[in-house]
A and B are shown apart, each in its own frame.
Chain A
Amino acid sequence: MRALTAGEVVSRVKSNLGIPWRDTTYRDTFKFGGPETEVRGIATTMFCNFDVVQRAAQAGMNMIIPHEDTYWNDRDDVSIVSGDPLYKTKVEFMKEHNMVVFRIHDHMHSQRPDFTYVGLARALGLDRKYETAPESHRFVIPETTLGALASDFQKRLGARAVRAVGNPNAKVRRIQVGVGYATPAVNDPEVDVVVSGEQQETDGGFDSPEYVLDAVSLGITKGWIMLGHAISEEQGMLEMAQWIKSFTPEVPVQLIRGGEPYWAPK
């Protein structure tokens, strides 16, 4: 039997995607290795960090399909990082283990459904029956408090450093889910709480933390729950692994979790 190559995996990803491939993407490209590499196993993950790379190699997987970057900047511009010895260490390890890295980001978000949302809603226990419309990512749940909701999310994710803004005692029902850095603005009057991964605190397109603080001053219900970028989008890489497995039966495919990078001090 002819060995499965990374190029063949990518071409099956493209043909199963259900939408045209956009070659203009700088994100969804090979970050290490190339199409000719023979694939023994596929690991999906969130960030292609060194820990995940090592664990994938240990598990006998030499193709990594991450959602995010490998070299600590979105464009994976190695000229920024190649002066740091860590870059060489990571690349040498991948070379020794005959690894290949192909990122899937832009096309994952364009695919329907977008697995990042499917995975996060599943992990947060936001049942589809509460979603106002398919793909709205808006859930109207039985009334709870912002504090209880944030605690519930943190427990379900096994997280340590979830952050929230707003009055913990505020009664909330209407939740808008965002993923990664695609955090919806909190000023939608139909929304009580935004839960998402990451957003710059101020000086951006819309600064939700200050808006929520002012809402609290005025007695208006608003809440903001930041899970962290990694754990918000990592969940959907499980769905991504299952989907890739469906058209690459020759090799094992699994999610390798990078987990939450943070802890919080006492």
Chain B
Amino acid sequence: MPVIGSAVVGAGRFLYRFIVGDDWRVALVVLIALAGTGVLQGEHISALWLVPLVAIVMTGISLRRSALKGEKA
């Protein structure tokens, strides 16, 4: 059982690193932007600019945060 437990924990960690990565804020805000696009689409408002804009802005914010923390690339 401990082997299965550690395998599940390992798989969970891998998926978290794969999907979310080292800046969860970027993932969260991009997912909110995707949901927002879906809601606007339901109201027949085209918002295909929202996700690219949010993705680019969040990348900049994340780069800035890493720089302020002195993280190595």
Do these two chains interact? no
Instruction: List residues of chain B with CB under 8 Å of any chain A CB.
Output: none
Instruction: List residues of chain A with CB under 8 Å of any chain B CB.
Output: none
